[in-house]
Structure 1
Amino acid sequence: MNFGDFVEKYNFTDALPLMFSTTGLGMGNMVNKMTMPVMQAFGAQMARLMVGTQNSFSTSSGRNQDLYDAIADFLGEKVYYNTRAISSTRSDDGVSVTVRNVVSGQETVINAKKLLIAIEPVATKLAAFDLDEHEEEVFSKFHFAREYTAIVSNPSLPTNYSTGLNIEAFSEHGPMHDSVSVEDLQAGFIQDLLGLQGMRSTWYTGAAFSSNYQTILWQYNEVLLPQLLAA
């Protein structure tokens, strides 16, 4: 069922502007999308949050960067800044990841018992992680939307007059709002995706495995990380 039919069936048309303005950005025409990815972006938890019946996790300061700063303070010298993974070897016995500092060019080999990947599972970003044929097959079924942000300055215009926009800043959010076809879902895609957890000493988190709503994602991580440590 596409989302437009779902909205009509359950009569919540009035909620569409709120859904689009909060999590629907980047999805395109929401009513023509399959219901499942829309509900992943704006699910029951998000609805309860918006009407004030559920709490959410956030930094006490209201500044998201504080979370990353606190993690960096906790990890100390174990954090590699300005660094990109360029190759890796993964097996059931552990992982070895080679990273390169994009400023100095210095390369470092990191050996670990387990690897946690938290980036979008797109081919360009996973190229350094030695995917096998099964992993490539599963991840190749994802389709991602794109979201762009721009700051535009333009004077008020009289009726029936137009001019070019002045774009002051432009940024791409990157891949988001993952989805797969109905056929792939029916063929067991979700089971195949979750079955990757722990394979070749590698675990995954992020919106593609949970939600792009941070409250749900953090709760997901609280379940996932103990499993990773216990494996």
Structure 2
Amino acid sequence: MVRHIRRALASGLVLLASLGSCDDNTIVRDVAIIGGGASGTFAAVKLRDAGKSIVLIEKEVILGGHTNTYQDPVTNQTVDYGVEVYHNQQFVKDFFDRLNVSWTIADPNFITSVTPQFLDPKTAKPVNYTPPDPTAGLQAYAQQLSQYPDVELGFFLPDPVPEDLLLPFGQFIEKYPDVANATFTICSYGQGLGDELKQPTLYVFKNFGTDIIRDIATGFLVTTGQGNYEIYDHATKLLGHDVLLDSTVVNTTQRDNKGVELTVQTPTGYQKVKAKKLLITIPPKLDNLRPLSLNHRESDIFGKFIHTGYYTSLVNNTGLPPNYTAYTASPDTQQNIPKLPGIYVVTGTAIDGVFDIKYGSPSPVPDEDVKREILSYVRKLQANGIAEKLPDDPQFVAYNSHAPFELTVPADQIENGFYDDLYSLQGYRSTWYTGAAFHTQDSSMLWNFTSNYVLPDLLA
């Protein structure tokens, strides 16, 4: 269950995969999938169920992407410190049912059941901030969203792109002050967007859409078993020898309208993969895609992406009281949105003494710097008397980098048709794409996008 104990399973699945290969050590499939996060795992299950042969290539030793589940070795209690909730939609329920993962609808008040404290992101001292009631602001925000229903489904933008979608979000709420009281709520849900007030409003709309507003009122869908990794544990077992874990594509010898041929480095050596079609679900940054022999057209499009940094962690020996929650709020920013890089939130977990701490940055930060900043913040909490100083220093029990996280382009690129160019790559050189860069950082919405706008071509 813990993310870092799966290497033996990875090697076993690679060995099984070789049993389903051709005599020349070549795996031949209808579809090869690169990336076993939410999108890649969903696509693999759906394609297999539809009768297509697949191979799923994942660089980590487990599937799941941004889904982080930690299991306490003493109590066996689990904590989800990555993906936490899902949309209350039938397609999500159907996918969970297919994987035999139990679910329920959470109490709408479960996220706000603890009254939070608001702290300065630099000093960790209390700030004089009381969040306004967001209700009217969310209603005004939803009215703005309603003008662009297709944005909820993908980067399906009007032509020309409306000015409001291109405005930095800080300017958008100045233009529509009725939205302002919802800003802190929107940004709290939109962790990972970097400097959210400077992001084009399009990305805020994508990240915090109509369905999230509905689920805030009626309740998100949550798993009821041993954490959200159960989804991917069950998927791994279901897909069996069609998963290559701890494996990466190192070379592409063919990628054209006749199919693809990849060389994959696995724990047991190099493996050739031949497929009629290729599905890429990893963040399409040039460094990630270099082994795929990009041509000028592809490099020009993917090279425009910039990205943020987002980091999740669990820390013990904090000295904080049980059930403590604190959000950071800058005293001198628009709507008190916290300055980044820095801490988003510190909150207690179901494991006694373990606290969930989220960190974000407008651009990537080395892991050692993020860890140092997180532990420094905990020590400031102790120095300020918010937390008790303990004999043992605070330390990480789990940590994950989610960089590169939110992939975006500047407003002028959006206006000039970037997303038309991006989507025009679907099917080009027998290659299709899904994942957050093609829609949003949201497992549920990615499953919907993949199902409706990607899988039909792969099934054809």
TM-score higher than 0.5 here?
yes
Q: Give, as a single letter, the amino acid of the residue that structure 1 aligns with 2:188.
A: S
Deviations along 1:7-65, whole A, 9 cap, x unmatched? 23332222222222222x2333321222112222212222222222xx76654537322
TM-score by length of structure 1 reads 0.85
Conserved in 1, the CA contact under 8 Å of 2:281 and 2:435?
Answer: yes
**Is 1:92 equivalent to 2:322 in the alignment?**
no
Match of 1:5 in 2: 171
Conserved in 1, the CA contact under 8 Å of 2:251 and 2:262?
Answer: yes
Match of 1:120 in 2: 283
Relative to structure 1, the CA distance from residue 95 to residue 40 in structure 2 (aligned partners, 3 Å threshold; closer, same or farther) is: same
Q: Which has the larger radius of gyration?
A: 2
Mapping for residues 1-231 of structure 1, pairs under 5 Å: 1-10=167-176, 11-23=178-190, 25-52=191-218, 59=223, 61=225, 63-88=227-252, 89-101=254-266, 103-104=267-268, 106-150=269-313, 151=315, 152=375, 153-154=378-379, 156-158=382-384, 168-169=395-396, 170-223=399-452, 224-230=454-460
Identify unmatched segments of 5+ residues in structure 1.
160-165
TM-score by length of structure 2 reads 0.45
Relative to structure 1, the CA distance from residue 191 to residue 58 in structure 2 (aligned partners, 3 Å threshold; closer, same or farther) is: farther
Q: Which whole-Å CA distance do the structure 1 matches of 2:222 and 2:260 have between them? A: 33
Q: CA deviation at 1:189?
A: 0.8
Deviations along 1:89-136, whole A, 9 cap, x unmatched? 2110001111112x44x0000100001111000111111111111011
- SS of equivalent residue, structure 1 residue 74: helix
Conserved in 2, the CA contact under 8 Å of 1:37 and 1:177?
Answer: no
**Going by fraction, where is helix more abundant, 1 or 2?**
1
The alignment-based identity, stated in percent, is 32
Q: Which whole-Å CA distance do the structure 1 matches of 2:199 and 2:432 have between them? A: 29
- SS of equivalent residue, structure 1 residue 119: coil
Q: Which whole-Å CA distance do the structure 2 matches of 1:138 and 1:183 have between them? A: 14
The number of equivalent residue pairs is 220
What is the Cα-based RMSD across aligned positions, in Å? 2.3
Q: CA deviation at 1:156?
A: 2.6
Q: Which whole-Å CA distance do the structure 1 matches of 2:451 and 2:382 have between them? A: 50
Match of 1:163 in 2: none
- SS of equivalent residue, structure 2 residue 402: strand
